[in-house]
Amino acid sequence: MSKCVRRRITGGRIAAFIVAGFVSRGMRVLFCAPYTILIGQTANRFVEYGLPGDEIGYIWADHPNYDPDRKIQIASADTLIRRVFPDNIDLLIIDEAHLRKKRILQDIERLRASGVKVIGLSGTPFSPFLGKYYDRLIKPTTIGELIQRGDLSKYEFYAPTKPDLKGVKTKSSLEYGNDYNETQLAEIMCGSTLVGDIVQNWLENGRDLPTIAFCVNVAHANYLTIQFNLAGVNAEVMTADTPVDERQTIIHRFETGATKIIVSVGVLVAGFDSDVRCIIYARPTKSEIRWLQALGRGLRTAPGKESCLIFDHSGTVHRLGYP
């Protein structure tokens, strides 16, 4: 039996609750995190919600707390792919289940056949391939309901610019479905007028709030960052190729206020816990996964936070609607 649970975008509590239920019955749980930056974060969240820290083992590179005999195993997906799968697992939890990791999906099929329970967690379970690996989709609540309850932040939404995407081709991927060709997209979004509008709008309306900007590719991110820097705003680029140590340093500067804007390409779309109060969305998309994962970075609640500013410079709200 395998289930995919649509969790709230910041739903670490669900995973901890599920793990606690199995561990209390003497069962072994393997939690698979898609990004190495989430390993320690997941362990801290588990302990915060009452799970025993001395029962957590780590499957990640040469982690000093590697112990395959512990009841709770937290693994990096990339490390798990390269190693022999742990024995005697009763439950496999796949975080960010919408991400397509071929080896992990093969393990899901193998474990299901041997009677191991599999649960996938995702705030955006829209990937076309999920139906092949999960029998049921459980949707406990919606973003709107969570905002009403105060579990997620309210937001103020503005769409200052809408780029002309006429002629941009569409490409298909198993992970995101149909979406715009990135090369063509970047050529348009790197236009000086569009980038200038993003910077000027933030200077006038961004209230100097801690901000994440989502861009098309590295060239686009670098250009936008330079323009913010020239305007006197401390902004830094973070991409999928940014080393883990450097990412942590950038995040620390962001959390202390030394860096005001992190300009992201393909990162900070999952498991990023910093207090974000403004989102600049400058990556046009047809993918609901990309859209909601990005906006979700600003919906986490925080002390003194009344709402999150969202500036859509991509026209995506006209295609996919509000979160």
Q: CA dihedral defined by 215, 220, 223, 226, rounded to 10 degrees? A: 30
CA 319 to chain centre: 21
Give the CA distances from residue 214 to residues 18, 92, 177, in Å, rounded to whole numbers and listed in that order: 32, 32, 19
Residue 315's pLDDT is: 97
3-state secondary structure of 29: strand
The whole-number pLDDT of residue 175 equals 75
- Token couple for 234: 């401390």
Give this prediction's pTM.
0.84
- Residue bearing tokens 């007028």: 193
Tokens for 135?
A: 């029998």
Q: Do the bridges between strand 170-173 and strand 177-180 make them parallel or antiparallel, or are there none, so unpaired?
A: antiparallel
What pLDDT, on the 0 to 100 scale, is given for residue 78? 81
Would you state the pLDDT for residue 185? 97
For residue 123, the model assigns a pLDDT of 82
Low-confidence spans in the chain with pLDDT less than 50: none
Residues 6 or more apart whose CB falls under 8 angstroms from that of 190 comprise: 219, 220, 223
- Domains defined along the chain, listed by start: 2-140 (3.40.50.300), 153-320 (3.40.50.300)
**Rounded Cα gap, residues 152 and 143, in angstroms:** 8
| Interatomic CA distance for residues 299 and 309, integer angstroms | 10
**pLDDT the model gives residue 253:** 97
Strand 211-214's sheet: what is its strand order? 154-158, 307-312, 278-281, 211-214, 261-265, 235-239
DSSP class per residue in 248-266: HHHHHHHHHTS--EEEEES
Residues 149-195 pLDDT 10s: 998 999 999 999 999 999 999 998 877 889 999 999 999 999 999 99
